[in-house]
Amino acid sequence: MLGLRGWAAEGEEMIVARNILLAERTKARVHCQHLSSAGSVRLLREAKQRGVPISGEACPHHFTLTDAAVAGSEEFWATDGKGLLPGAKPSKLPRWPAFDTLLKMNPPLRTAADRAAIIEGVVDGTIEVLASDHAPHCNFEKEVEFDYAPFGITGLETELALSLAAFVHSKRMTLTDMIARFTTGPARLLKLANKGSLAPGSDGDVTIFDPDTEWVFTPEGTASKSKNSPFYGWPLKGRADATIVAGRIVWRDPGSGSSR
């Protein structure tokens, strides 16, 4: 699996093009992580139509946020964020300053057109996998000027709700199709016959969740020791209640069954 590093969209697209050429020449499968640009999606789609053994994944921050968010919450909600949280009153929208280091990740946030292309790529199957790009950091690492802050955000706790918002609650995809991007898609890519499904003989790995549970993500409520998420204060819909591994419950949300 090859990650995509570099600030410019053109740089990312050059890497994707190189990966496609390698896969086409060697016939070896190549997987492109963290796609973030429209050009990358176009290259991937065209290559797959030619039968090239290439695949890609996307992360929630790249199909939710845009580079306008780096200019601050006021700029984002007035432009690219319009309609993103339809049930939230303007006074209740999450707020953050310009050049908030919680918005610094690699690949970086890109334009609204890039975001739309990533969404389209997930919907039409060009992008087969959804992932979190979970990258914890200590508070002091992010409490510096934007240029000096490390890349990376946490994403495990919000990836389900953000994916539901972008694809299911928006009516772009069915719940079954979205779940496939988290389960059968990765299992097929990694050739894990006993993973990714509930078929007889599978390992019995299950996440139980309610797609309509409403909640707000907060630093106080996170299960992570790291607090570097750009989605604190966001009203979300859809949350995991329990995780089962090999038929055994290994985690249960302590708030399940409460008034939350």
Catalytic residues: 133
Residue/partner pairs of 90-97 with CB below 8 Å, 24 or more apart: 92/235, 94/231, 94/232, 94/233, 94/234, 95/233, 96/69, 96/72, 96/230, 97/72, 97/73
Distance of alpha carbon 71 from alpha carbon 96, whole angstroms: 9
Distance of alpha carbon 236 from alpha carbon 241, whole angstroms: 14
Distance of alpha carbon 95 from alpha carbon 93, whole angstroms: 6
Host H or E run for residue 61: helix 60-64
Distance of alpha carbon 160 from alpha carbon 240, whole angstroms: 8
Distance of alpha carbon 222 from alpha carbon 234, whole angstroms: 13
